[in-house]
Structure 1
């Protein structure tokens, strides 16, 4: 097997009422004002042709097979206020 490293960085402008909160395991998630929480993580997308529409899989087995390949995941959130 080969090793693939994927780094994802997003810069987003978000509403003032979004907050960062720590989970019981020490990770962070985003608290939304409607009482929901948002975690941004990898979601694999598939296509039969790279120039056509990409979609997530509806097949749980295929998704789980892909997720089983991931050895570690790290998401770092930082709020910057101006």
Structure 2
């Protein structure tokens, strides 16, 4: 097996109400105005508490709204010697 490193950079135009907050583990997530939190991974993940379980959305409209905010995307791939 070899290790593949994938870097994804997104530039997004988002509503002014969105905020960045820090979790107890030191990571950052996005606080949405409807008392929800969002983490961007391979797909947007949502939670009602940033310290609990994150899930993907079942609502295609929500997913499409988030993806429509992406202004540009840059993905790079690199095999890492291990």
Residues of 1 paired with 2:27 and 2:3: CA distance? 25
Which residue matches 1:18? 18
Measure how far apart 1:42 and its partner are.
Answer: 2.0
Instruction: Please tell me whether Structure 1 or Structure 2 has the larger radius of gyration of its CA atoms.
Output: 1
Over 6 Å off, 4+ runs: none
Residues of 2 paired with 1:12 and 1:36: CA distance? 18
**Structure number with higher strand proportion:** 2
Which residue matches 2:27? 27
Residues of 2 paired with 1:36 and 1:27: CA distance? 16
Structure 1: runs of 5 or more not aligned: 44-82
Measure how far apart 1:19 and its partner are.
Answer: 0.2
Q: What RMSD in Å do the two structures reach over aligned CA positions?
A: 0.9
Structure 2: runs of 5 or more not aligned: 44-82
Which residue matches 1:40? 40
Q: Deviations over 1:4-59 (max 9, x none)?
A: 1100000000000000000011100000000000000125xxxxxxxxxxxxxxxx
Q: Which gives a bigger RCO, structure 1 or 2 (Cα 8 Å, sep 6+)?
A: 2
